Amino acid sequence: MCTYATMNTDLDGSAKGPESRWFHVSHGTVYFDHPVHAMAEHTLNIDFTDPTKGPGARVAVELTAGSARELVAAIEAALASAPAEMTV
């Protein structure tokens, strides 16, 4: 089904997107729903975007539920591995 559920979050960073150009990322959209490309019925999808640059300024990923959870754990582990004062 279409889950309709969407989590929006502000971000501050950069992503390498269309035409291999880097752009500033100010927004993230996270949702578990039908993918466009991945061969799964549902995936955890993340759009890294800069809405001020138009809908094409987007880096999209579609991850199976299991690999999305592994990514969350890896992000947490990477952050935890760094000295606390560096990750404030």
Q: Which residues bind another protein (CB under 8 A)?
A: 1-2, 4-8, 27, 29, 31, 33-34, 36, 39-41, 47, 49, 51, 54-56, 58, 60
For another protein, which is the closer residue by CB, 41 or 85? Answer: 41
Please give the torsion angle defined by the CA atoms of residues 24, 28, 34 and 39, in that order, rounded to the nearest 10 degrees.
Answer: 50
* Least distance from another protein to the Cβ atom of residue 84, Å: 32
For another protein, which is the closer residue by CB, 13 or 83? Answer: 13
Residue 55 gets which letter from DSSP? Answer: T
Category of 54 on φ-ψ map: left (φ > 0), alpha (ψ -120 to 50) or beta? left
